[in-house]
Each structure stands twice: as structure tokens, then as C-alpha cells.
Structure 1
Amino acid sequence: MYLARQGANGPLVYVGVGAGERKAGGLRGRLRRYTSGKALASGLGEAVFDRALADPQWLRERVAEVECGRATRATGWGKAALLWADLHVCWSVTNSREDAVALEKRVLAIEGVDWWNRAR
């Protein structure tokens, strides 16, 4: 189970369950997909992109790139969104996926946190 905070000392914003060791390198593989910009439509990648798109300054910068003839692929926008988010990630290793999911649910139940998670 992993947690993301916006900024080194900023608020917690996202909690997720890693892929474990069975798929694509576990949590390291999942984070690699996010940092490559290839996970725009899932989990943390989607949450970050949604918030970046809602930031007028970030969006103006992307539009300016297009208007100057420096249009980029969607993965480039995904990378830019992740840099904008300034996420800092920590994790907790659990004995099973079930334990990780249960821990994720307990963390998401914390009151007063503006979670970026879509499904709560």
C-alpha cells in the first residue's frame, strides 16, 4: 500500500495498493509507468492529470506550447502533470493483497483529507 503527499511536507492526497511482486515489477513498476506518462487513465496518473487540467496556469503553459508549435504527445502531458503535482511517495509492505486493501480502506476513511482517489 502506498501513500502520496503533494510536496515533501504537504498534505496526503492519494492512497493506493501496489501491484505486488507478481506484475510489472511491483510498486516500482507502477511508479515507473506513472513517471513515464503512460498511466494517464488509471489510478494516481489519472488523479494527477485531472488536477493539473483544473489548474489554469498549468493548462495555459500546455496551450502556449501548442501555439508555439511545440505540441507534445499525451505522455508528455502526463509527465508534466506529475512534475506539477510534486508527489512524494512512501509505502507499507503487507503480508497479502487482502491486508493491503484493508489498510487502504482504513486510510481512506480518515476524515478531513481531500483524497484524490476516485473510488472511496
Structure 2
Amino acid sequence: MSWSTVHDYALRERYAEVHDLAEWSPWMPFESAIPSAPREPGVYLLREPLTGIIRYVGMAGERAAGGRPQGLYGRLKIYRNGRGAISGFGEEALDRALADPQWLEQQLHDLRDHGPKRAQDWAREAVLRLGLEVSWSVTPDTNDARYLETQTLTLLRTTGIWNR
């Protein structure tokens, strides 16, 4: 994980501690990373690419849909598809979009020109507008994922992450 864009020394130290907690994937653009996301449980980090600041820490368990485990892939796909609008990161993304007058103006323009959209579509657009990058660490099971998430959140709680 590269922290070279983070200018705050104390923050870089925290990120180094997070890096040492687990084996993390390279950072990738959120949307293009989803097809390669593992179907195992684990923890994911979302960061702003320009500043390198981590904005969200989440975990995915071993949920199965249609008999096939979904893991990290399933969790990230839920956000990209807009189905996670009222949970965790999806809610935070939608709250931030709804506080952006330019985004709202564009949505009103689209409404007038093309008619209404489903809430799921608004949530998907709210997530994608952030342009975040993702990194993850695979864990053996849900309990290990929960433990890694707790350790990571403990280190990052005071660094401006969006987790509530």
C-alpha cells in the first residue's frame, strides 16, 4: 500500500500500522476492482485517490447468494449496484451526494429530461461519484474479518473516516 500522497505524518504512521495488520491488495479504482474482488470474507478500505486518505473501513462475511459465496465481491457489488443505500458506506455516499448542490441540480435536470429514477439508481450514482479506490485483505472466515475490521477501525477512528 502506498501512502506517498498523504502529507500528514501522524496519519501516515496510522496507515503504516493498518498496513502491518494484514496482507492488503494493491489499491484499485472501486468500480473496475469489483470483478476481481475475491468471494472470500475479508476487510476492505476505501480511499480518495488524490489525497490517499482512507474514508471507509468495511467487512464482508461468507454470505451466499444462489448457493455461491459472495464475500468481498458481493459486498462491493451491492454498493456499486445501489442496493446498499441504507447500510454503511452506501448511506454515507448518498448523504454526501444529497449535500452537494451541483449533484442535486444534475439530478433535477435528469428528472425533468428523463423522468424519475429508482432510489437504487440514485444510490449507485452517489457511490460512483466519489471516485474512490479500494484495497482488501482476505480472511479465513467472518470472525477473523470482524476482528481485522475492529483492529483497523480502532487505529483509524480519529482520522476522519466516514464509519459511524
Q: TM-score under structure 1 normalisation?
A: 0.83
Moved over 6 A (4+): none
The counterpart of 2:124, out of the listed 44, 64, 79, is: 79
Q: How many residues align?
A: 117
Q: 1:8, 1:88 within 8 Å by CA — same for their partners in 2?
A: no
CA distance in 2, matches of 1:9, 1:92: 21
Aligned-CA RMSD value: 1.9
Are residues 111 and 35 of structure 1, via their aligned partners in 2, closer, same or farther at CA, if it must alter by over 3 Å?
A: closer
Cα contact 1:5–1:11 (8 A) shared by 2: yes
Q: 1:71: how far off?
A: 2.4
Q: Is 76-85 or 106-115 further displaced after alignment?
A: 106-115
Q: Cα deviation per residue 1:36-58 (whole Å; 9 max; x = unaligned)? A: 11111112211211111112211
| Larger CA deviation: 29-38 vs 3-12 | 3-12
Unaligned residue ranges in structure 1 (runs of 5+): none
Q: Does 1:5 align with 2:51?
A: no
| 1:55-112 deviation digits (Å, cap 9, x = unpaired) | 2211221122223343211121112111211121111122332222222122222254
Q: Which moved more, 1:47-56 or 1:62-71?
A: 62-71
Structure 2's unaligned 5+ residue stretches are 1-42
Q: How far apart in 2 are the matches of 1:87 and 1:23?
A: 26
Q: Which has the higher contact order (CA 8 A, sep 6+)?
A: 1
Between the aligned partners of 1:108 and 1:46, the Cα distance in structure 2 is 18
Task: Give the TM-score normalised by the residue count of structure 2.
Answer: 0.63
What is the aligned-residue identity percentage? Answer: 42
* Aligned: 1:35 with 2:76: no
